[in-house]
Amino acid sequence: MNRYRLKLIASNTPGCLERVLNNSRSGGFDVDTFTASLCPRRNQYDIDLHVSGGNSQNTLIMALLQESDVRSLTPCRKSLEKRERTPSM
């Protein structure tokens, strides 16, 4: 299973957040975390989206970019897992 993290900027319009979630779920992804904070001065949401699924990240990116509310989308690099070090003898 692939895990992806995307950062989005989206307009503060009715139903915007629901459309972002629906696109993510209908694209065959499970939404692991979804955090949105409203920036009233700019009238936009800053969204941090973590998803997992078997599909390509490009599929999700293309679907989200077709939404008129999405102003910006940045894929984040996969986080490196911390490895436990074993003491050398």
Task: Return averaged pLDDT per consecutive 10 residues of the chain, 89 residues in all.
Answer: 94 96 91 96 96 91 94 80 47
**Residue 84, pLDDT score:** 44
Burial of 34 per CB tally in 10 Å (0-12, 13-18, 19+) = middle
**Residue 82, pLDDT score:** 41
Element (H, E) at 51: strand 44-53
User: Rounded to the nearest 10 degrees, how much is the dihedral formed by the CA atoms of 66, 72, 77, 78?
Assistant: -60
pTM over the 0.75 mark: yes
**Residue 89, pLDDT score:** 53
CATH architecture observed for domain 2-76: 2-Layer Sandwich (3.30)
76: which strand partners?
5
